[in-house]
Copies of this chain bind each other. A is one copy, B any other.
Amino acid sequence: MHQLYFTPGPSALYPTVNLHLKDAINKGYLSASHRSATFKDIYKETENNLRTLLSLPDNFSILFTSSANEVWERLIQNTVENKTLHLVNGAFSKRFADIATDYKKEAVVYSAKEGEIVNVGEIKEDNEVELVAITHNETSTGVSQPLEDIQKLRNKFPDALITVDAVSSLPIVDLPYDLIDSAYFSIQKCFGLPAGLGVWIVNNRCIEKAEKLENKGIITGSYHRLLSMYKKGKDYQNIETPNVLGIYLLGKVAGDMLTKGIGQIRNETIYKAGVLYYGLQTHPLLNPFVGNERIRSHTVCVFNTKGESERIINELKKNNMVIGSGYGSFKSNHIRIANFPATGKEQIEMLADKINEIQ
């Protein structure tokens, strides 16, 4: 029997993936050279569809990495000489700060208790900070930093680059691109694609910073130096032989999302999040881990389980529904449910019904 996946990444495949995969094979796209016109056309379509879907301004470029982990590393190597600042509200935002430390940068960390967010009002102005790292949607805890905080951070750090981790929220979130310099996501979350590709969005200020560092003789990496990626990207190519299938599928699914309408997809996400948060509010075992509704994620819904995660997960498995356990130390005390576009309203309603049967 076919399983329904509500796991927060890798996650359920977008319904059209199967069809696009067959097409990619039949048309020989997986055997074509990554220097051919065939590949450049694939890259171009993916870039154009993403640009439209995200309403990305012209001063931003779209680059492909192997993962969001790689984006963290390339950001540190290419945009930071000495000092970064991180808003840490969970395991993934913390890992970014750790990567800055791995590269011997001074990482100023403002931490929130898990399930809460950093109070931006408490962050001190510091004109030595070169990169401010915000996690819009922390996949480990289901907490979401409100977009208005980006404006406040921009006011405090007028000259720093601001980068937004939207790994599990793009294209659902409508980011204020005029206030930020970089953002990134992974394709196995909201796009419902096989894992193995990160998408890194950078503006001209990031490029200029990388140039400045290189002019100073600072090591910015090698094959994936930002300036190399940027230059090759302008010619619709990658430095290395990339995950061609991932780039192709991303372009096609972005196209499908455009056809459906991003407004419609965003509205459905809010509706489905409501089905989970409100539909489960009388459940005797569950309550949302993020107490404050204003900062609760719409795309990764996390619940306390009074230690009953395993039982709930196993009961759902009997009904061919797979949800995520808690992250790290929350393994047995949380469940995590992905609310990505691949999952329809009816499936989320069915899941909520089944969970309500588990007492």
Contact = CB atoms under 8 A, between A and B. Distances in A.
Contacts of A31: 3, 5, 7, 10-13, 322
A219 interface: yes
Given A102-B221, A243-B196, A33 B18 contact: no
Contacts of A99: 222-223
Interface in A11-44: 11-13, 17-18, 21, 25-26, 28, 30-34
Interface string A45-83: 000000000000000000001111110110010000000
A225 interface: yes
A90 interface: no
Contact of A28 (B18, B245, B322): B322
A242 interface: yes
Interface in A192-245: 194-197, 219, 221-225, 239-245
Nearest to A245: B194
Residue of A3, A72, A240, A242 ringed by the most chain B CB atoms within 10 A: A240
Contacts of A141: none
B222 A76 contact: yes
Given A10-B33, A28-B322, A31-B7, A102 B244 contact: no
A195 B244 contact: yes
Contacts of A196: 66, 196-197, 241-246
A210 to B, nearest CB: 13
A10 B30 contact: yes
Contacts of A9: 241
A309 to B, nearest CB: 14
A188 interface: yes
A67 B70 CA distance: 13
Given A13-B25, A196-B197, A240 B18 contact: no
B18 A25 contact: yes
B69 A195 contact: no
A34 B195 contact: yes
A249 to B, nearest CB: 10
A243 B243 contact: yes
A186 B116 CA distance: 43
A324 to B, nearest CB: 7
Interface of A: 2-3, 5, 7, 9-13, 17-18, 21, 25-26, 28, 30-34, 65-70, 72-73, 76, 95, 98-99, 102-104, 186, 188, 194-197, 219, 221-225, 239-246, 322, 324
Leading 4 A-B pairs by shortest Cβ distance: A196-B243, A66-B66, A5-B31, A69-B240
30 contacts: A2-B26, A2-B28, A3-B31, A5-B28, A7-B31, A9-B241, A10-B31, A10-B33, A10-B34, A11-B31, A13-B25, A13-B31, A18-B25, A21-B25, A33-B324, A65-B66, A66-B70, A66-B196, A67-B242, A69-B239, A70-B224, A72-B223, A73-B222, A76-B222, A95-B223, A104-B219, A195-B244, A196-B244, A196-B245, A243-B246
